[in-house]
Structure 1
């Protein structure tokens, strides 16, 4: 009896780790792709957890300033403007997607982490800071090049009925990993102390990231609709012309521009504010990130139950209306407990927006031009992200972070009302997936 119960527990744990993902309505090739994408997700999230929360602190440890952090954020945003356009062009010309993800974020992006780990051994002072910032900008470029190809590939791997469930699972998994790994990374940094601690976590992130890259490289890639685009459509401008003629998607991009504007007014400076404004230690920042991740697990799991592939626009509208109150809650946070409350509210407010993000963008982009549409949406958001952080850094230095928070809340609020207006006017009442299914059904009856 005891052995049987033990085996059942082991089997349950094995299944929970090895294949907890949804597969309803998938083909054998899609299931194979989901399997390798799952293992890529696990190792990629572990890699990110070892460095993402500590990049800013690493630069500050090397002698960087809040102004340099703001400048890096702007340059990163410039890379995210250029990168998606390059990625979409590569997909349109080659019809391939996986290779650009493997070479981009999976290859060059993770190589920059490895190089960042050795920078303090080769340079010191301002030179070391500049080199690390340049490497982080290259990492951002590599990742943004891979974005449209990766999302286009996901659109073929996941049928519409399971996209929101996969997105929820992926985000919950990321939060669970953050809970376990971020405190470990913080302990390593504190135990080794100084720049060497950050170097160690960067090295671990690079190694684990390359493992994730190998798993991603094993995904069987379905035939791309972007390779099969009609030559007449290409002669008329292809995806770029289709983008300009799609009024709904243009309005969506306008909302994203304003939304990103509001985010970037405060986004780059939360960690700086905790470190310099509130005087929190690295351990405290790591513990806050861990506690927030615990809340995020439950928030995303609940959002996964609330969001479906039929109501993603509605849940996005509700979430966007809640998000502007997050920077306002930071305005009144003066202690670690206050910051924890503000961060917890933030992840709860963001949960539905995050879970609905993938099915929303896939539903409003035509399959034959998906990478280009996604690239242009990312580019529009990147424009706002480029122009805001440098003046936002000046506001932070001249007037304090609270002014940033108020301006951020206002920008996010305007964007939320714009999206709500689109939803109420029926902009999301149909999707390209519905039209494609109707076309396939019509062809079967001809």
Structure 2
């Protein structure tokens, strides 16, 4: 589902002739609502049995993707295409809301099902299988769309693609229903006084009163926000300006994702030896260069190299920032709650950044008209690339003197952490879920 829907949403919006402002909204709203849904999921888990919640939300998501397939059916006239964009935005918001409602419950569910001593082997094999399948389907989707485009029936191609996604979600929903949930018997039924109000998880002020966490949250949110300025428009540049085929578009994205996946182990060992702070500083200095590199050449081989560099930077950044949050949170506090707060603040920044990017592209010609002739750019979309790069550098320069290596509490080594590649998107590259693993020998020592 994720390989055949997540990664072609922007391409589908371009096919529907979405405006620059609409491309910004398409990126902004789903991220914002998705983060809010993670917080809501923590509360809903007290009211609805976990298995039932995950299954029903998955069915809703399946139906939403099925409607996307209907939306993709060929239409007559350009004006009719454009009228479908608001429906697309609404369905993508529903899609990401469902995804984020499920995620916290799914993480806890798998933590209960898989024995600690087998988590490493199980999730490592699962991640390899899911990544190979996702990348294969992603490339297959690009080839499918390219074939239908040559036949002059690209709308049918998108309809087939989203129908495949809906079928995949339907199959996964069936197996979710068949899974055992050990928490069913000890489920706390909803009675007056038994459900914690949302406010009990703590106010935003409580979390942000810690200066380390405040600086970290502002850094991550700021970086996500300025990345969102340019993120929706790489697809616009490749498909509309360079007129690449859908297969070339897919291969370009796969170059970054595959590099990230391949280098997670390298960055894990590096951060174990030198600390997460150093990895964060190195990669945050590389991130401002990534959108600027797109300005130098439209050659396809060059852009593949840029994506490999992008994968190198994003894999280290994603890994180190996840571990840094683990280290700076107060001892024996709820990691999920801290992560949810950080994601909510970050989603707000993404919302603002994506809308600002849409505004800049919409008025790019007007903005560049008042610029000196020697500074004018070849394409309006280059303006958001430059703005995003400059602001990324500003965020990194602000954070570097404020980033202090925390006192490392006893935590799992990198080899004892299970990484599950949940999905990948144009905002933050590979999105990781992770569970800690205790080795069997250590478990035996604790029992003795």
TM-score by length of structure 1 reads 0.72
Distance change (3 Å), C-alpha of 1:187 and 1:341: same
Query: Of the candidates 93, 99, 108, which is equivalent to residue 60 of structure 2?
Result: 108
Say if 1:376 and 1:103 are closer, same or farther in 2 by CA, change over 3 A.
farther
The CA deviation string for residues 368-416 of structure 1, in whole angstroms up to 9 with x for no partner, is 6444332221110011111121221121233322222222223333444
The CA distance in 1 between the partners of 2:116 and 2:317, in whole Å, is 17
> What is the aligned partner in structure 1 of residue 371 from structure 2?
none
| Compared CA separation, residues 165 and 335, structure 1 to 2 (3 A) | farther
Shift of 1:345: 0.5
For the pair 1:430 / 2:409, whether they are aligned, the reply is yes
Alignment CA distance shift 1:262-1:137 (3 Å) = same
- The answer as to 2:90 corresponding to 1:134 is yes
Output one character per residue of 1:86-141: Cα deviation in whole Å (capped at 9) or x when no partner.
223223x449655544433x332232111111224597533333222211111122
Secondary structure at 1:76 match in 2: helix
Cα pair 1:176 1:293 within 8 Å, conserved: no
Q: 1:237 to 1:57 in 2, by over 3 A?
A: closer
When the two structures are aligned, how many residues end up with a matched partner?
A: 387
CA 368–424 in structure 1, closer or farther in 2 if over 3 Å, else same: closer
Q: Does the 8 Å contact 1:274/1:285 carry over to 2?
A: yes
Q: 1:128 & 1:214 partners in 2: Cα distance?
A: 31
Over residues 205-227 of structure 1, what are the superposed CA-to-partner deviations in whole Å (9 max), with x where a residue is unaligned?
1211233344455264569x998
| Counterpart in the other structure of 2:307 | 343
Question: 1:255 aligned to 215, 219, 229, which one?
Answer: 219
- 1:245-301 CA distance string (max 9 Å, x none): 544333322222211122111111111111122222223212323444443443334
2:263 matched residue in structure 1:
299
CA-CA distance at 1:176 after TM superposition: 3.0
> How many angstroms apart in 2 are the aligned matches of 1:164 and 1:348?
24
User: Which residue matches 2:15?
Assistant: 61
Q: Deviations over 1:304-326 (max 9, x none)?
A: 54455994554344333332221
Work out whether 1:82 is the aligned partner of 2:36: yes
2:24 corresponds to: 70
Q: Does the aligned pair in 2 maintain the 1:81–1:382 contact within 8 Å?
A: yes
Residue 289 of structure 1 is matched in structure 2 by 253
| Long gaps (5+) in structure 1 | 1-46
Q: What is the match of residue 286 of structure 2?
A: 322
Q: Offset of 1:190 from its aligned partner?
A: 2.8
Name structure 2 gaps, 5 residues minimum: 365-379, 414-437
**Higher share in helix:** 1
Is 1:381 the counterpart of 2:335? The answer is no
Report the CA distance between 1:352 and its aligned residue.
Answer: 2.0
Q: Which moved more, 1:314-323 or 1:377-386?
A: 314-323
What secondary structure is seen at the aligned counterpart in 2 of 1:333? Answer: coil
Q: 1:172, 1:296 within 8 Å by CA — same for their partners in 2?
A: no
Alignment RMSD (CA, Å): 4.2
| 1:32-43 equivalence runs, <5 A | none
1:398 equivalenced with 2:363 (yes/no): yes
Structure 1 residue 413 corresponds to structure 2 residue 393: yes
Name the structure 2 match of 1:240.
Answer: 202
Structure 2 partner of 1:181: 137
Q: Give the match's secondary structure for 1:424.
A: coil
Paired residue secondary structure (2:17): coil
Give the corresponding residue for 2:238.
274
Where does residue 25 of structure 1 map in the other structure? Answer: none
In structure 1, distance between residues paired with 2:335 and 2:291: 33
Q: CA deviation at 1:328?
A: 2.3
Residue in 1 aligned with 2:228? 264
CA distance in 2, matches of 1:186, 1:197: 10
Q: 1:341-384 CA distances to partner (integer Å, 9 max, x unpaired)?
A: 21110001111223445555455377664443322211100111
SS in 2 for 1:388: helix
Does the residue aligned with 2:232 lie in a helix, a strand or coil? helix
Q: Is the 8 A contact 2:28 2:355 kept in 1?
A: yes
Q: Provide closer, same or farther for how the CA distance between residues 387 and 167 of structure 1 changes in structure 2, counting only shifts above 3 A.
A: farther
1:202 corresponding residue in structure 2: 162
Distance 1:59 1:385 in 2: 19
* Cross-structure match for 2:373: none
Counterpart for residue 8 of structure 1:
none
Is 2:71 the partner of 1:119? yes
- Local SS of the residue matching 1:331: coil
